[in-house]
Amino acid sequence: MTKVQANYRIDVEVKEQAYQVLDQIGIRPTDAVNMLMHHIAMFKELPFRPSVPNAETVKVFDETDAGKGLNRHDNVDAIFDALD
């Protein structure tokens, strides 16, 4: 697919805030714009708005990434048994 450069004018403060959020999510600004445009082209609508996870969610992500607080089960039935 051929790529073209597109220029957009946005408010300086909005850009700075958005770049901070994208950095927290781990998405480059160029990728975010491409994702937006692909979604609009495919679905003919604006996408849902992803957000930065709150502190509690980040803590759980960090813990599970470190292997803490995980429950392992041999099969689906064991998972449901553990939920009771």
Mean pLDDT for 72-78 is 92
pTM: 0.57
CA-to-CA distance for 30 and 5, rounded, in angstroms? 10
Q: How high is the pLDDT of residue 39?
A: 95
**Per-residue pLDDT at 50:** 74
Structure tokens at 37: 């445009």
Average pLDDT over residues 7-23: 96
Per-residue pLDDT of 20-59, as tens digits, reads 999 999 999 999 999 999 999 999 998 877 788 899 999 9
Q: How confident is the model at residue 84 (pLDDT cuts 50, 70, 90)?
A: confident
